[in-house]
Amino acid sequence: MEEKKNLMSLKDFVSGSVAGIVQVLLGQPLDIVKVRMQTKPDIYKSPLDTAKSILKNEGISAFYKGTLSPLIGISFCVAIQFGSNEIAKNYFSNRNLSLKNSSKLEIKDYIYCGMFAGACNSLVISPVELLRIQMQVQTNTGSEKSKYTGTIDCARKIFSSNGFKGIYQGYSATLFREVPAYAVYFGLYESLMGLSEKKYGNRKDIPLLKVMTYGALSGLFLWISTFPHDVIKSYIQADDPKNRKYNSIVSTSKLIYKEKGLGGFFKGLTPCLIRAPPINAATFLTFEMVQKFLKRLDTPQ
């Protein structure tokens, strides 16, 4: 007989947090290239030229500019993403068990779980990415004085001037990106894992290469499906909090189209697509491996 599951498990959040640390350390250099290309397309034309310019003018440490915010924040955010996705999976599993006498989830259930994870994640990722982007758009070339000396200074100055409204600049655009993004991300990954589970009999027996492949595909399709949303969000969050030019999703979309055309919504896509497969393969692999390790600790020897 199948039994109902507890909705929440600390293991899910711990596993997600470790996966988030791996994600930040591997993905930060390409993320700054993406943000520069999105927000300053007149200066940064290609991924390689952008990387060369950053290295030449700002040094190698610039590729990890603003890392404190994502290292602390995104590890927590990934914990929220995976943890809330697991909570939703457990909810649908229990519901299906009550209604159908089977805890198996359908593809639509996985999509709903992803949407829930995206909505939860928006609350925490929005201020984290605001601070990271505000730091990343500083060029520090000498002719342009840095507005912020670090992530903490950035948070303090924005909050001092604009309060929580400033810290949550771009929240609606973040929500606009996260909900469909994670519907794709977790919907695809969990559906593929579910198919493999039928073949191998147990989730823990699925080969790690398949886990990595599914993670890579999920990350790739996440960005393909929602990249224009990310561009809009980047414009809004890179904007000067004291002198806003990009105020809403609709007005920002119109301005981007007017100034850059349709191609403006895809600036920075190349480094993102280069980054997405290996980073998300590593993220899901880390999550699954930490899950297995924590479950073994709880299993009596």
Instruction: Return the amino acid letter for 221.
Output: F
Average pLDDT over the chain reads: 88
| Cα separation, 10 vs 15, whole angstroms | 9
> Quick one: pLDDT at residue 59?
85
Query: Residues 151-155: what's their mean pLDDT?
Result: 89
Please indicate whether residue 211 or residue 38 has the higher confidence score (pLDDT).
211
Domain span holding position 238? 13-292
Please indicate whether residue 274 or residue 126 has the higher confidence score (pLDDT).
126
Task: Kindly state whether residue 80 falls inside one of the protein's structural domains.
Answer: yes
Is it the case that residue 142 has pLDDT exceeding 60?
A: no
Task: Kindly state whether residue 8 falls inside one of the protein's structural domains.
Answer: no
Task: Kindly state whether residue 301 falls inside one of the protein's structural domains.
Answer: no
Please indicate whether residue 165 or residue 142 has the higher confidence score (pLDDT).
165
Task: Kindly state whether residue 180 falls inside one of the protein's structural domains.
Answer: yes
DSSP 23-36: HHHHHHHHHHHHHH
pLDDT in tens, 8-50: 788 888 999 999 888 888 877 887 888 788 888 888 888 888 8
Query: Residues 58-66: what's their mean pLDDT?
Result: 78
Is it the case that residue 277 has pLDDT exceeding 60?
A: yes
**Can you give the pTM of this predicted structure?**
0.82
How sure is the predictor about 140, in pLDDT bands with cuts at 50, 70 and 90? low
> Quick one: pLDDT at residue 67?
65
CATH code for the domain in which residue 154 is found: 1.50.40.10
How sure is the predictor about 168, in pLDDT bands with cuts at 50, 70 and 90? very high
Task: Kindly state whether residue 143 falls inside one of the protein's structural domains.
Answer: yes
CA 192 to the chain's CA centroid: 20
% of the chain residues with pLDDT over 70: 93
Query: Residues 227-242: what's their mean pLDDT?
Result: 92
Task: Kindly state whether residue 297 falls inside one of the protein's structural domains.
Answer: no
Answer whether 43's CB lies under 8 Å from 99's CB.
no
> Quick one: pLDDT at residue 1?
57
CA-based nearest residue to 253, from 269, 268, 234, 270: 234
Query: Residues 65-70: what's their mean pLDDT?
Result: 65
CA 103 to the chain's CA centroid: 29
Count of structural domains, the chain: 1
Task: Kindly state whether residue 6 falls inside one of the protein's structural domains.
Answer: no
Please indicate whether residue 185 or residue 137 has the higher confidence score (pLDDT).
185
Query: Residues 164-189: what's their mean pLDDT?
Result: 96
Cα separations in angstroms, 44 against 32, 34, 37, 57, 262: 12, 10, 5, 13, 17
Task: Kindly state whether residue 279 falls inside one of the protein's structural domains.
Answer: yes
Is it the case that residue 54 has pLDDT exceeding 70?
A: yes
Query: Residues 85-113: what's their mean pLDDT?
Result: 91
Please indicate whether residue 256 or residue 32 has the higher confidence score (pLDDT).
256
> Quick one: pLDDT at residue 58?
85
